[in-house]
A and B are shown apart, each in its own frame.
Chain A
Amino acid sequence: MDWSQSLRLIAPEETLSIAGLVLLLVAAWGGDKASRLISILSVAALVAAMALVAPALCGGAMGPDTSAFFGQFHADAFSSFAKILIYGSAAITLVLAPSYFERFNSMRAEYPILVIFASIGMGMMVSAGDLLTLYIGLEMMSLASYVLAAFLRNDGRSAEAGLKYFVLGALASGILLFGMSLTYGFTGSTSFPLINAALANGLPTGALFGIVFMLIGLAFKISAVPLHMWTPDVYEGAPTPVTTFFATAPKVAGFGLLMRVLLDAFGGQSAAWQQIIVFIALASIVVGALGAIGQTNIKRLMAYSSINNVGFILVGLATTTQAGATGMLVYLTIYVAMSVAGFTAILMLKDADGNYVEEIAKLAGLSRTRPGLALALAMVMFSLAGIPPLLGFWGKFVVFQAAVQADMLALAAIGIAASVIGAFYYLKVVKVLYFDEPADVVTGESDVWHKIILVFSCLFISPFGYLLTGWLGANAEKATTALLAAL
């Protein structure tokens, strides 16, 4: 493995890094006036990076040819799958942002650059073949995210969200680092294949603690119970485009990383972590469902809904099988589309003066004042609840299918029965939208880009999305084959 080969494999990261640095200079000289140009160029850079990673996914790249820097970095089909989702959702959040921030006169040139650096970090997370790559990627994402959460400097809620995210995130990173050091101490390596090999003959108690601490740190990043407490506050406080970003890209990166660590590094010791994941999955489903019932702010509701969905995605991981991992990727893709659709619709909820409406009660009777928007939100709600024929059902279907194939019937039955609790609060939103008398609050005009994104994401989660299930499943399977071959 020579350096030129390695540098070729990280071409997407190089593109994004150079773009980020150059745009930083543009921002330094151009100031906030250049923010629109920087946004456009950032989206172009992200799209270019997507184009660069796509061949690896289509070709199902895997094995030693795809590992760079002596196995520290994998540019295989799995990382490509995750990166396409990450870069795609980052680009979408950039498109969503300008009209929102301009409302508060705080569209700053740094925003797209921070998103780009966060995306590089997330790309590294899903490509990690070594605990150090993992940590560098994670911190790169986190530091950018903390700033993004507090991006509305004059807004108390945004500052609070940033601070909370930072304090708790730093704590989680510390715990993760502690787990990594334990793992290193008891296995003698930071490389995933070597850790796996070292644990082949049994699991020392110290390494078990390492797994548990690492899981705690990673559960924070994907906002799984019991490390979910920050989610509602951060989702509510952060500017809505940033919330869209948090709900999509870091989730994909977090799950990608979790799958790398658990299925590659600790793949041989699945018995040690399987029951932890089962617990986290069921707890997330139940807590997410129950917590959402009392919410009156739609962004907080979406936060609990994301906790709930994280639980369902973890059901796939709990199976420890390839089918489960494939199901997770399919679910993640659909979940990203649902979140994009949901938050775009939330961004379009504006009153006559252009203020953003987040109170669910104020959406009463939206179906009569803005039928298209209400239909989109209702579709998102039914899809998140997993009611066919919307595509959200397919996500649940594949992970539960994997659970049944792995003979985990109790997990599947409890998980799916708990989804009925979740259906209750989604129905509540639909009830407000469709059954209540119009409150006539949401009357503001919507940005044309928001409309375009909403239409496309809604088309994806509509029954037409089922036509893509074959293609999606095949690609997800290529990705997980590469994941398991990375050892």
Chain B
Amino acid sequence: MSGFPILSLMLLVPLAAALVCLYLDAKGARWLALAATLVDFVLGVALWLNFDVGGAQWQFQESHALFSGFSYALGIDGIALLLILLTVFLMPVCIGASWKSVEKRVSEYMCAFLVTEALLLGVFMAQDLFLFYIFFEAGLIPMYLIIGIWGGADRIYASYKFFLYTLLGSVLMLIAMLWMVNTAGTTYIPTLMAYDFSPQAQTWLWLAFFASFAVKMPMWPVHTWLPAAHVQAPTAGSVILAGVLLKMGGYGFIRFSLPMFPEASAYFAPMIWGLSMAAVVITSLIALVQDDMKKLIAYSSVAHMAIVTVGLFAFNTQGLEGSMMVMLSHGLVSGALFLCVGIIYERLHTREISRYGGLAINMPRYSLFFLLFTMASIGLPGTSGFVGEFLSLAGIYQASSWTALICTTGIILGAAYMLYLYRRVVFGPQKNADAAAMLDLDAREILMVLVLGLSVLWMGVYPESFLAPMRSDIAALNARIARAAPAGDAKVTAGTEKPAHIETAHEGAH
């Protein structure tokens, strides 16, 4: 498939559909949006199948000098591939989730969603620094509209908070980018990834990028926009916010901060660890006392993202691979959890936990899937959550055993708040008559949770499918940052291997 501009096509399909959507009625817009996202999903699968695992680092490259100062350069490596797959996979689910719940201004809603999809894909595909920035920032506009128009009661406050917080983070990054391009003389990301900035400059650049990515991630203490935005966003907005938008922060760290500023990353690693430790414990405790289901899951997202950041700044392969797996798994699981909340919200129009109870009796199928995603969120072995969290924590243990110790409490606290949520919503007596009268999942809902559930299990049982495409990229990144890696306090020594052992599992399989 070399030479065929599949990446541009993936951007073009949702954009064209978005424009057409504006001229359609509600029904037409829904079907067109679903069709466009499914086409993009098929293209994404084609991308995966044609991706040469172990081949060139950058594949499917396109480059056209369309603009002054920067070029239209696209290309992906394994890391970007996986996040693109996550995006195109979640998008049809999002459209499905808003099939009935969004009733007002449907065509504009679908248009905003398709534009968001194109911009998110653009972020992961861009190979030019400023092209990346444009996609990165432009995503604010449709998300602002989605939260503000279709959100809940406090939507205006949430939309402002979301927009201004993330904008302030990003504009400083723009200045840093301008400086980098001025110094390195190129806007081409792969070149910049290999460019050595002086350690002193790295410190400032790293902080400017951190200002942006920490807000997007979001890291404690700049996470406060997230619960506000999540609670007020419509279900599909939450799914895409938690599923993909948060990954832009992690992607930023792995694509920019680490390879471009290795020394500064090492210098600031203890700060990241500290913030992440605080985040895991504090936000988990906050999640424990929430009465609002969406807020609870939003705070759990912050805790999970903290596991991502410790893994990224562990400076070893396990940590990096683990972070990627947590990001992918969290994309599926938190998306699925928001979907589960959305399903019962559509029936009862409240997110208050105490208004539910005993759903296991009248909604057994729902309870089953909700349990699966609850367990995946906790990180039970066999689900996707386990793989990533285990790798991340194993990685950070080598760098800082104390950080690993405290972050692991997040797993325990995670089990506490998730099981407590599940008990209050699904088990116990049916204390509310209207909740007891809710119908179980219909075919559309089963389809959505089923595909999510199967992927969660796939990623948990056979993670190699997802580890293989990024293995060589992670190895390259690890080699790049190895020179700055801080000395770990765990002093892990490898055991002696049995001589007859044969490595078999490392063939790319998907």
- Interface on A for B, CB 8 Å cutoff? 367-368, 371, 382, 387-389, 393, 397-398, 400-401, 404-405, 409, 412-413, 416-417, 419-420, 423-424, 427, 430-431, 434-435, 466-467, 469-470, 472-474
- A435 CA / B140 CA spacing, docked (Å): 16
Contact with B141, one of A371, A387, A419, A467 (Cβ below 8 angstroms): A387
| CB < 8 Å neighbour of A382 from B130, B141, B164 | B141
Binding site of A, secondary structure by majority: helix, strand, loop or mixed? helix
Question: B178 contacts A420, CB within 8 Å?
Answer: no
Q: Does B41 have its Cβ within 8 Å of any Cβ on chain A?
A: no
Known contacts A382-B141, A413-B175; A469 and B168 CB within 8 A of each other: no
Asked if B69 and A401 sit within 8 Å, CB to CB, the answer is: yes
Q: Which of B69, B105, B133, B171 contacts A417 (CB 8 A)?
A: B171
7 A-B residue pairings within 8 Å (CB atoms): A388-B133, A397-B69, A401-B182, A416-B171, A417-B171, A427-B163, A474-B68
Supplied contacts A388-B133, A397-B130, A435-B155, 10 more A-B pairs, CB within 8 Å: A397-B174, A400-B174, A400-B175, A423-B167, A427-B144, A427-B159, A466-B66, A467-B66, A467-B67, A474-B68
Instruction: Say how far B219's CB is from chain A's closest CB, in angstroms.
Output: 19
Chain B residues with Cβ below 8 Å from A400 are 174-175, 178
B188 lies within 8 A of chain A by Cβ: no
B134 touches A389 (CB 8 A): yes
Known: A387-B138, A413-B175, A435-B148. A404 touches B66 (CB 8 A): no
Contact string, B114-149, partner A, CB cutoff 8 A, digits 1/0? 000000000000000010011101101100110011
- In order of increasing CB-CB distance, the 5 nearest A-B pairs are A470-B68, A388-B134, A404-B178, A473-B68, A469-B68
Contact B171 A420 (CB under 8 A): yes
* Contacts A387-B137, A404-B178 given; does A435 touch B171 at CB 8 Å: no
Give the interface centre of A423, A435, A473 by most chain B CB atoms within 10 Å: A435
Q: Is B160 touching A469 in the complex (CB atoms < 8 A)? A: no
Cα–Cα, bound, A409→B177 (Å): 12
Interface residues of B in 305-358 (CB under 8 A from A): none
B172 within 8 Å of A by Cβ?
yes
Cα A405 to Cα B183 in complex, Å, equals 9
- State the Cβ distance, A466 to closest chain B Cβ, in Å: 5
For B144, list chain A residues within 8 Å (CB): 427, 430
B361 to chain A, nearest CB (A): 40
Contact B160 A427 (CB under 8 A): yes
Q: Assess A431 versus B159: contact at CB under 8 Å? Given A404-B178, A416-B171.
A: yes
* Centre residue among B68, B156, B159, B178 by max chain A CB count within 10 A: B68
Chain B contact residues: over half helix, strand or loop, or mixed?
helix
Whole-angstrom distance between the alpha carbons of A368 and B266 in the complex? 52
Within 8 A of A (CB), among B150-193: 155-156, 159-160, 163-164, 167-168, 171-172, 174-175, 178-179, 182
When chains A and B are docked, how far (Å) is the Cα of A435 from the Cα of B148?
6
- A416 and B172 in contact, given A423-B167, A427-B144, A434-B145 (Cβ under 8 angstroms): yes
Asked whether A470 lies within 8 Å of B148 as measured between CB atoms, the reply is no
The reply to whether B178 and A412 contact each other, CB–CB distance below 8 Å, is: yes
Contacts of A409 in B (CB 8 A): 175, 179
Q: Of the candidates A393, A427, A430, which one forms a contact with B134 in the assembled complex, judged by CB atoms under 8 Å apart?
A: A393
B172 close to A413 (CB less than 8 A): yes
Tell me, rounded to whole Å, the shortest Cβ–Cβ distance linking B19 to chain A.
12
Q: Please, which residue of chain B has its CB at the minimum distance from the CB of A368?
A: B105
B8 CB to closest chain A CB (Å) equals: 14
**Residues of chain B within 8 A of A382, CB atoms compared:** 141
Contact partners of B182 in chain A: CB under 8 A:
401, 404-405
CA distance A420 to B166 in the complex (A): 10
The answer to whether B156 touches A435, judged by C-beta atoms less than 8 angstroms apart, is yes
Bound: A416/B175 CA distance, A: 8
Chain B residues within CB distance 8 Å of chain A: 22, 66-69, 105, 108, 130, 133-135, 137-138, 140-141, 144-145, 148-149, 155-156, 159-160, 163-164, 167-168, 171-172, 174-175, 178-179, 182
Complex-state Cα separation, A424 to B66, whole angstroms: 32
Q: A389-B138, A434-B148, A434-B149 are in contact. Are A466 and B171 (CB under 8 A)?
A: no
* Residues of chain A with a CB closer than 8 A to B175's CB: 400, 404, 409, 412-413, 416
Chain B residues positioned under 8 Å from A388 (CB to CB)? 133-134, 137-138
Q: How far is the CA of A431 from the CA of B163 in the complex (A)?
A: 12
Chain B hits for A434, CB < 8 A: 145, 148-149
Decide: B149 and A470 in contact? CB cutoff 8 A: no
Query: Which A residues lie within 8 Å of B67 (CB)?
Result: 466-467, 469-470
Determine the distance from Cα of A324 to Cα of B387 in the docked complex, in whole angstroms: 52
The CA of A180 and the CA of B456, in the complex, are separated in Å by 75
Q: How far is the CA of A434 from the CA of B111 in the complex (A)?
A: 14
User: Please, which residues of chain A bring their CB within 8 A of the CB of B141?
Assistant: 382, 387
Q: Please, which residues of chain B bring their CB within 8 A of the CB of A430?
A: 144-145
Q: Which residues of B contact A467 (CB under 8 A)?
A: 66-67
Q: Which residue of A has the minimal Cβ distance to B115? A: A389
Chain B's closest residue to A385 (CB) is B167
Whether A420 pairs with B168 at a CB distance below 8 angstroms is yes
User: CA of A389 to CA of B116 in the docked complex: distance in angstroms?
Assistant: 12
Q: Is A424 a contact partner of B69 (Cβ separation < 8 A)?
A: no
Instruction: Give the distance in Å from the alpha carbon of A397 to the alpha carbon of B178 in the complex.
Output: 9
Which of A371, A405, A416, A431 has a CB less than 8 Å from the CB of B174? A416
Residues on B with C-beta less than 8 A from A397 are: 69, 130, 174, 178
Complex contacts, A401 vs chain B, CB 8 Å: 69, 178, 182
Interfacial chain B residues near A387, Cβ < 8 Å: 137-138, 140-141, 167
Beta-carbon contact of A417 and B168 below 8 Å? yes
Inter-chain CA distance A326–B182, complex, in Å, is: 16
Output the residue of B155, B156, B178 with the most chain A CB within 10 A. B178
A34 to B168, CA, bound (A): 54
Residues of A within 8 A of B108 (CB): 367
Task: Report which of B22, B105, B135, B156 forms a contact with A431, defined as CB distance below 8 A.
Answer: B156
**Which of B135, B141, B171, B179 gathers the greatest number of chain A CB atoms within 10 Å?**
B171
- Which residues of A are found within 8 Å of B159, using beta-carbon distances? 427, 431, 435
Question: A420 touches which one: B66, B134, B164 (CB < 8 A)?
Answer: B164
Chain B residues near A416 (CB, 8 Å)?
Answer: 171-172, 174-175
In the complex, how many angstroms separate the beta carbon of B147 from the nearest chain A beta carbon?
Answer: 9
CA distance A466 to B70 in the complex (A): 10
Contacts of B178 in A (CB 8 A): 397, 400-401, 404-405, 412
Question: What residues of chain A lie closer than 8 Å to B174, measured between beta carbons?
Answer: 397, 400, 416
Q: Which residues of A contact B69 (CB under 8 A)?
A: 397-398, 401, 469, 473
Q: Which residue of A lies closest to B133 (CB)?
A: A388
* Chain A residues near B68 (CB-CB < 8 A): 469-470, 472-474
Q: What's the Cα separation between A388 and B182 when bound, in Å?
A: 21
Q: Kindly report which residue of chain A lies nearest to residue B105, judged by CB atoms.
A: A368
**Which residue of chain B is the closest to A412 with respect to CB atoms?**
B175
Chain A residue at minimal CB-CB distance from B208: A413
Give the residue name and chain of the A residue nearest to B166 (CB): A420
Chain B residues lying within 8 Å of A431, measured Cβ to Cβ, are 148, 156, 159-160
Name the distance in Å between B351's Cβ and chain A's nearest Cβ.
Answer: 21
CA distance A427 to B143 in the complex (A): 13
A423 touches B148 (CB 8 A): no
B15 closest partner in A (C-beta): A463
CB neighbours of B148 from chain A (8 A) = 431, 434-435
Interface centre among B105, B135, B138 (most CB of A within 10 A): B138
A397-B69, A416-B172, A434-B149 are contacts. A423–B138 as well, Cβ < 8 Å?
A: no
